[in-house]
Structure 1
Amino acid sequence: MTSDSAQTGSGGSDAVASRLALAIHEHRIQPGAKLSEDEVGEIFGVSRTLVRAALQQLAHDRLVTLKRNRGAFVAQPSVREAREVFEARALLEPRTARSAAERATGADITRLQRHIDEEHAALADGDPGRALRLSGQFHIEIAAIADQETLREFITQLVARSSLIIALYWQRRTALCESHAHHALLKALEDGDGSRAEEMMKGHLLDLISSLDLRNPAPPARSLREALARA
């Protein structure tokens, strides 16, 4: 094993954290899965010290839970947490969409359209996990366009936690294919129609929560090595 200083160039703790977060957001690692320091280190070719630092970072972001004498696990939001997260999003994001509609430039619209195109490409490739990650990024981009940094930070955290919630409680997986919510949102932003953007976002978030079954969490799937094979 190489020294930590030698590893930082190709795989420091930030890089390990980013790669683990990507796999979590794309539902390749399921909530509740154990993240063994030794196994993660072996997969990425880094030391346990770097893995431990990465897991601490993910715990700070509430993507990972650290349990004394048991190790690290992908977080499993409770039903109560799931409701609270989406209630918070319903409070913040409609107003943010209104602000974004008032500020969006042509370049912003092009960037959002690119996200939608990439979502569709992921679905066409049979990769709903990647499509969901891109869908979450679409919401974060809207918050960035609104130019409200504090709200963007909150929404980024909420979207990350939403990824775990969807992995656990999503019952209507066809909703991704059925929904044209992002197209409607994009049109409202392009038209500079703040009121319509706000209403579209409200409806979209209500549709998301209605696609969840807050009773029966999905079981963990696949091995850690398989999940991280392309992280």
Structure 2
Amino acid sequence: MKPQRSADTAESLDQTVYDALFNGIMHGRLKPGARLQEAALCAQFGVSRTVVRQALRRLSEVQIVDIVANKGAAVATPSPKETRDVFAARRAIEGAIVREVARRIEHGDIERLKQRLRAEHEALHYQDHPRWVALAGGFHLALAELSGNQVLQRMLTELMTRCSLIVALYEAPGEASCEHDEHTHLVELLSLRDADRAAEEMNKHLLALEARLQLPA
């Protein structure tokens, strides 16, 4: 039994390091290109290099950390081409998501989305940018959950992790990554169960989000 407990402990430590780094990247505390030095991480978390390497390997699998032989690990830096590819994929996936949501949405779902909109408005009012970014991304993931399609939900979750890096890297100063009014209009169309207009609005919303980025030509 002892080897099993040891394995369980290592897995738990690996998850602790993974979660801390993942959240640090998603909330902008670790910027694109930031070096993730094994020795420093071992000291910070009080774990072995084996645990740190396992956590970094898992982060590389979801493409938010790059590991280069003889150079180590760093927070991923999406290229302009990858950014455009990510948004093209999001437009395809989220168009399908809102069509399905419009078909199956219920009154309680609409009320919960409106609660999210009120939280977004509050974050904007108090100029709480980190909270606003988290809420704006959460709005899109909430729609994916309402679609009932777990495959689309997983695909969007992966794309949203990349978008967190993209926004941190290319967002223009003073620009919001998502516009609150655009989310509000989407909820209005979904409450009307207007699938075509909701899909069109989502496409416009994502095109506008991409256009607000400062991408090199």
TM range (shorter): 0.7 to 0.9
Q: Which has the higher contact order (CA 8 A, sep 6+)?
A: 1
Counterparts of 1:118 and 1:43, CA distance in 2: 34
Instruction: Say how many residue pairs are matched.
Output: 212
Structure 1 residues 150, 177: closer, same or farther in 2, change over 3 A?
closer
1:133–1:163: 8 Å Cα contact kept in structure 2? no
How high is the sequence identity, in percent, across the aligned residues? 38
Structure 2 unmatched ranges of 5 or more: 1-5
TM-score (norm. length: structure 2): 0.86
1:90–1:202: 8 Å Cα contact kept in structure 2? yes
Structure 1 residues 159, 177: closer, same or farther in 2, change over 3 A?
closer
Structure 1 residues 61, 176: closer, same or farther in 2, change over 3 A?
closer
Which residue identity lines up with residue 53 of structure 1 in the other structure?
A: Q
Which residue identity lines up with residue 170 of structure 1 in the other structure?
A: E
Counterparts of 1:33 and 1:79, CA distance in 2: 18
Which residue identity lines up with residue 184 of structure 2 in the other structure?
A: H
1:171–1:213: 8 Å Cα contact kept in structure 2? yes
Matched, 1:142 2:146: no
Which residue identity lines up with residue 92 of structure 2 in the other structure?
A: L
**Which of 1 and 2 has greater Rg?**
2
Moved over 6 A (4+): none
Which position in structure 2 is the counterpart of 1:82? Answer: 83
Structure 1 residues 75, 194: closer, same or farther in 2, change over 3 A?
same
Question: Could you report, residue by residue, the CA deviation over 1:52-102 in whole angstroms, capped at 9, with x for unpaired residues?
Answer: 211111111000001111111000011110111111111221221111111
Question: Could you report, residue by residue, the CA deviation over 1:105-129 in whole angstroms, capped at 9, with x for unpaired residues?
Answer: 2332233334333334444454423
Task: Please tell me the root mean square deviation across aligned C-alpha atoms, in Å.
Answer: 2.4
2:91–2:206: 8 Å Cα contact kept in structure 1? yes
Which position in structure 1 is the counterpart of 2:3? Answer: none
Structure 1 residues 5, 78: closer, same or farther in 2, change over 3 A?
same
Counterparts of 1:54 and 1:22, CA distance in 2: 13
1:4–1:50: 8 Å Cα contact kept in structure 2? no
Q: Which has the higher helix share?
A: 2
TM-score (norm. length: structure 1): 0.81
1:119–1:134: 8 Å Cα contact kept in structure 2? yes
Which position in structure 2 is the counterpart of 1:170? Answer: 171
Which position in structure 1 is the counterpart of 2:157? Answer: 156
